[in-house]
Amino acid sequence: MSDSLRGAAVIGQSGGPTAVINQSLAGYVLEAVGQERISRVLGARHGVQGLLEDRLVDLGAEPRERIEAVAKVPAAALGSVRKKPGPEEVERMVETFRRHDIRFFFYIGGNDSAETAHIVERQAAELGWEMRCFHVPKTIDNDLRVTDHCPGYGSAARFVAHAFQGDDRDNRSLPGVKIDVVMGRHAGWLTAAGTLGRRDETDGPHLVYVPERVFDPDRFLADVAAVHERLGRCLVAVSEGIHDADGRPFLQVYAERAGSALAGQKDSHGNVQLSGTGALGDALANLVKEALPGVRVRADTFGYLQRSFPVDVSPVDAAEAREVGRAAVRAAVSGDHASGSIALRRIEGGDYRSEVFVAPLESVAKVTRNLPEEFLAGDNGIAPAFRDYALPLTGGLQPMADLELIPA
Amino acid sequence: MSDSLRGAAVIGQSGGPTAVINQSLAGYVLEAVGQERISRVLGARHGVQGLLEDRLVDLGAEPRERIEAVAKVPAAALGSVRKKPGPEEVERMVETFRRHDIRFFFYIGGNDSAETAHIVERQAAELGWEMRCFHVPKTIDNDLRVTDHCPGYGSAARFVAHAFQGDDRDNRSLPGVKIDVVMGRHAGWLTAAGTLGRRDETDGPHLVYVPERVFDPDRFLADVAAVHERLGRCLVAVSEGIHDADGRPFLQVYAERAGSALAGQKDSHGNVQLSGTGALGDALANLVKEALPGVRVRADTFGYLQRSFPVDVSPVDAAEAREVGRAAVRAAVSGDHASGSIALRRIEGGDYRSEVFVAPLESVAKVTRNLPEEFLAGDNGIAPAFRDYALPLTGGLQPMADLELIPA
């Protein structure tokens, strides 16, 4: 590994948007501009797609005020992509690197992006092109290994917590059963965040179903009936990825049972489409309507608002997203690492603080991280330990206020 | 009409939540406490239901700090109800008024609530119980007559405008066709608000469908295909109440065509359920998927977040909601009016300002107000005049920022 490696740097953004992905982009630009070893500060349009098509932009030429303005805007300012490049494609990417003398590659994304950075690193070395490859973590799903948490999660968690605070007031106001579907195909981190604004057990969500547990429709109906009996209402948080004991998505099970078009669409990979549709919420609402006739039942699916709502960003999350972008550049030019994934570590004691460190790419790639047992309570609840973990990441939440309602 | 009428006052909240309905409640309490003619400041739980069941609370005994804290919380702090009382029920309500010496009745809600206040006023008079009845306007639908706009609308419009700003970034980031369904069964005011954060024609929503126009699925598909051809993506805003030339909801038409369970549920009145379900968005997305194979198509239904999201409130809306609550009390004790609906009037010239006035209850009851022609552009767009009208009500919106994207 050469300590004197010099050349251009390029960054790409990959996967689903977050509210703070452009903070990491801004951190990269602001740290990279002026670095002695970095000759040009570039960006690729739509991630690896832009590297394949040679669609590169000169981020170093953007005025600083514009970078700061874009940092506050959700979703990928460079454009994103969902694509895992094959060997031939990586070879073409390395050609692009050679053509532009790119020696530093940064990829903002989830575990797929860490894997892409890892593949690029190995194949570039095989092709004789020395370079540094760094993964900058980003996902509202919070499902990356190694890191304490992922930039993007704190803001999405804040949005979801606020959404449940408001919907709990709505459900108190006009009582009934309300089901809210939260993003999370494999892990329940974001759904669990729905509980962060609760003051006590009368506040919703009263029931929480996550993919870390098997979803049993009959137990679900019994749970809902019990809460409705006790409180006269029931607010439910459900991850889009709930599944049966065999791992089959609930919507697929429901489809087979109902033989119904209601049960959702399959995507081009044959997976049941879980996001960008209201089918899961509607299916669950239909079950409750059948089981509790006469009860007002509604379902909402929070959808893309969770990842791209522009004005409810966690300041903690924004600062950390900025910092991981900066840290990736520092690690790349330090000469201490040929590659790595930037991770966050919580500093023990006192108020919440975090610090960054560099993890091996292969420790982050591929496998996702689920909610640990200690954050779960029974089959339908979230444990207090989760609040200690997650609340600081949201930047803090104001409790909702009630009237005393003194009888006249 | 007696100028010296004295007695207790009671307020109720009715219909769907808004983010600022409790501002009107706070305005009522803060104005009524200390009024010489008002002996007690009461509230009814769940509107007319609480008056029927004698579930009244002493709002005058609530600490002021609590009233101020509750004012910032969405949905009805007293509880709400969807109920139009019949003659026998109004008679029982008047018995409640007599029992508590209630001479002042305030009802926060939409046009149904204005009608209820009107019915109560007439029947109380027939029964020999002199009282003052005032309607305090509230609806995210903005569909009340007489008033320039309705408290509750500005905050919902702000949320929807922000939601589209964010989803437009999302759609730029991962291009495709995205359909967002916005509340509004009869009028397109809230859907139109989705356009308020746009900077130019490349920003979404690119197409807007409201109930003021006939919805033609074939024209819709042609519109979407044309935008997708031009921009490589398309963001669509659709009111939940879109319908065919005979006024039948689109979802009902689609259900009959598809013979499919996908096409939605009917409520207890036999109406197709339009809110609290993702069926309309999913049906439209399915149409587009069939018409544009291979294109990524998603739908979100913003749902109850539009009316109860707690942390994106328009400061203009909050102040006006407070003021209509205060104004109702002032009008009731002034002796100038036996009844009325509080309305807002825009003060011409200079920066946005409004003032309140009292309109006859019957001028507000029953009939709703649609978007006027001057706010519509063609069959699928919103005219610039709408922005002049609606933007001040949101409290203002920050434009999203883009990179310059200078080719490297």
What ipTM was assigned to the predicted interfaces of this complex? Answer: 0.96
- For residue A248, give the amino acid letter: R
Q: B4 falls in which pLDDT band (50, 70, 90)?
A: confident
CA neighbours closer than 13 Å in the CB half-sphere of residue B352: 18
Q: Check B81 against A262: CB less than 8 A apart.
A: no
Name the residue facing B406 among A57, A170, A276 (closest C-beta): A57
Q: Is A65 exposed, middle or buried (0-12, 13-18, 19+ CB in 10 A)?
A: exposed
How many angstroms separate the CA of residue A99 from the nearest CA in chain B? 12
Q: B17, A170: Cβ pair inside 8 Å? A: yes
**Do residues A193 and A312 touch, judged by C-beta distance below 8 A?**
no
CATH 3.40.50.460 fits A154-310+371-394, yes or no: yes
* Among candidates B42, B74, B277 on the partner chain, residue whose Cβ is nearest the Cβ of A166: B74
From the candidates B97, B102, B403, which should be mutated to test the interface with A, based on the most A CB atoms within 10 A?
A: B403
Q: Which of B282, B304, B405 sits opposite A170 (nearest CB)?
A: B304
B61 CA to chain A: closest CA distance, Å? 8
Where are the domain boundaries for CATH 3.40.50.460 in chain A? 154-310+371-394
Q: What's residue A256's pLDDT?
A: 78
Chain B residue with minimum CA distance to A260: B261
Q: Is the pLDDT of residue A181 over 60?
A: yes
The band of A365, judged by pLDDT with boundaries at 50, 70 and 90, is: confident
Mutant choice from A64, A167, A288, A398 vs B, greatest count of B C-beta within 10 A:
A167
Note the pLDDT tens digit of each residue in A53-98: 999 999 999 999 999 999 999 999 999 999 999 999 999 999 999 9
**Tens of pLDDT, residues B327-343:** 999 999 998 999 999 99
Q: State whether B300 and A298 contact (CB < 8 Å).
A: no
Looking at residue A277, its pLDDT comes to 78
Nearest CA in chain B to A165: B310
Give residue B263's pLDDT. Answer: 43
The pLDDT of residue B261 is: 46
Query: How many of the other CB atoms lie within 10 Å of CB of B186?
Result: 17
Count of beta carbons in the 10 Å neighbourhood of residue B68: 14
In the prediction, which pLDDT does B256 show? 78
Q: Please judge whether A308 and B167 are an interchain contact, meaning their C-beta atoms are less than 8 angstroms apart.
A: yes
| pLDDT of res. B275 | 61
Provide the CATH number for the domain formed by A7-151+313-364 in this structure: 3.40.50.450
pTM: 0.96
Which one, of B49, B109, B50, B54, lies nearest residue B85 by Cα?
Answer: B49
Tokens found for residue B222: 């042609």
pLDDT at site B262: 43
- Round the average pLDDT of chain A to a whole number and report it: 94
Interface with B, mutate which of A305, A312, A398, A400 (most B CBs under 10 A): A305
CATH code for the structural domain at B153-310+371-394:
3.40.50.460
Residue B264 predicted with pLDDT over 80 = no
CB atoms within 10 A of CB B269: 5
* Interface size, chain A vs chain B, as Cβ–Cβ contacts under 8 Å: 240
Check residue B408 and report its DSSP letter.
-
Given the residues B141, B143, B282, B317, the one annotated as active site? B141
Q: Do A275 and B298 touch (CB under 8 A)?
A: yes
3-state SS string for chain A: CCCCCCEEEEEEECCCCCCCHHHHHHHHHHHHCCCCCEEEEEEECCCHHHHHCCCEEEHHHCCHHHHHHHHCCCCCCCCCCCCCCCHHHHHHHHHHHHHCCEEEEEEEECHHHHHHHHHHHHHHHHCCCCCEEEEEECCCCCCCCCCCCCCCHHHHHHHHHHHHHHHHHHHHHCCCEEEEEECCCCCCHHHHHHHCCCCCCCCCCCEEECCCCECCHHHHHHHHHHHHHHHCCEEEEEECCCECCCCCEHHHHHHHHHCCHHHCCECCCCCECCCCCCHHHHHHHHHHHHHCCCCCEEEEECCCHHHHCCCCCCHHHHHHHHHHHHHHHHHHHHCCCCEEEEEEEECCCCCCCEEEEEECHHHHCCCCCCCCHHHEECCCEECHHHHHHHHHHHCCCCCCCCCCCCEC
CB contact under 8 A, B303 and A304: no
Residue A275 predicted with pLDDT over 90: no
At B343, which helix (H) or strand (E)?
strand B339-346
Tell me the pLDDT tens digit for each residue of B174-218: 999 999 999 999 999 999 999 999 999 999 999 999 999 999 999
Phi/psi of residue A133, nearest 5 degrees: -125, 120
Nearest CA in chain A to B273: A298
Q: Is the peptide bond before A205 cis (omega within 30 degrees of 0)?
A: yes
Look at residues A176, A131, A214 and name the one whose alpha carbon lies nearest to residue A380.
Answer: A214
Q: How far is CA B328 from the centre of its chain?
A: 19
Which part of chain A is CATH 3.40.50.450?
7-151+313-364
Contact B81 A174 (CB under 8 A): yes
Q: Does A279 contact B281 at a Cβ distance shorter than 8 Å?
A: no
For residue B308, the chain A residues in CB contact (below 8 A) are 166-167, 169-170
The number of helices, as runs of H, and strands, as runs of E, in chain B is: 14, 13
Residues of B in contact with A174 (CB under 8 A): 16-17, 80-82
pLDDT in tens, A286-308: 999 999 999 999 999 999 999 99
> Min CA distance, B10 vs chain A (Å)?
11
- Give the one of B67, B173, B299 whose C-beta lies nearest to A276's C-beta: B299
d(CA A140, CA A5): 34
CB contact under 8 A, B302 and A307: no
Torsion, CA A169, CA A171, CA A172, CA A176, rounded to 10: 180
> Residue A114: how many CA atoms within 13 Å on its side-chain side?
27
CB nearest to B172's CB, from A56, A67, A75: A75
Contact between A75 and B162 using a beta-carbon 8 Å cutoff:
no
Question: Residue B13's closest chain A neighbor by CA?
Answer: A173
Q: Cα–Cα distances in Å, from A11 out to A29, B169, B191, B270, B369?
A: 9, 19, 37, 55, 51
Q: Which residue of B277, B298, B398 is the best one to mutate when testing the A interface, meaning the one whose CB has the most A CBs within 10 A?
A: B277
B205 preceded by a cis bond (ω within 30 of 0): yes
Which residues in chain B touch residue A58, judged by CB atoms under 8 angstroms apart? Answer: 406-408
- Write the residue in A61, A76, A408 that is nearest to B173 by C-beta: A76
Chain A environment of B16 (Cβ under 8 Å): 174
Average pLDDT over residues B113-125: 97
Q: With 80 as the cut, is the pLDDT of residue A387 above it?
A: yes
Q: Among B10, B25, B405, which would you mutate to test the A interface (most chain A Cβ atoms within 10 Å of its Cβ)?
A: B405
List phi, psi (to 5°) of B91.
-60, -40
Q: Give me the residue from A70, A173, A311 closest to B402, CB to CB.
A: A70
Phi, psi at B259, each rounded to 5°: 55, 35
Whether the per-residue pLDDT at A129 is higher than 60: the answer is yes
Catalytic residue among A58, A101, A141, A300: A141
Helix (H) or strand (E) holding B9: strand B7-13
pLDDT at position B367 over 90: no
Distance (Å, whole) CA A133 – CA B116: 68
Contact A277 B277 (CB under 8 A): no
Contacts of B163 in chain A (CB under 8 A): 305, 309
How much is the average pLDDT of B253-271?
58
- Residue A75: its chain B contacts at CB < 8 A? 166, 169-170, 172-173
Locate the chain A residue with the closest alpha carbon to B305: A163
* pLDDT at B267 > cutoff 90: no
Query: Which residue in the set A80, A279, A309 is minimally distant from B166, CB to CB?
Result: A309
Task: Tell me, yes or no, if B141 is annotated catalytic.
Answer: yes
pLDDT of residue A2: 61
Least confident of A19-28, A168-177, A265-274: A265-274
The neighbour count for residue B388, using CB atoms within 10 Å, is 11
Chain A residues with beta carbon closer than 8 angstroms to that of B311: 162, 312
Residues in chain B closer than 8 A to A13 (CB atoms): 173
The shortest CB-CB distance from B308 to any of A62, A169, A310 is to A169
- pLDDT at site A255: 79
- DSSP, collapsed to helix, strand or coil, labels residue A296 as coil
pLDDT digits (tens, 9 = 90+) for B64-105: 999 999 999 999 999 999 999 999 999 999 999 999 999 999
Identify from B169, B199, B290 which residue to disrupt to test chain A contact, counting A C-beta atoms within 10 A and taking the largest count: B169
Residues of B in Cβ contact (< 8 Å) with A67: 403
The CA distance from A284 to the nearest CA of chain B, in Å, is: 11
For B33, residues 6+ apart whose C-beta sits below 8 A from its C-beta are: B41, B60
Give the minimum alpha-carbon distance from A349 to chain B in angstroms, rounded to a whole number.
Answer: 30
SS3 B222: helix
**Other CB atoms within 10 A of residue A233 CB:** 21
Distance from CA of B19 to the nearest CA of A (A): 9
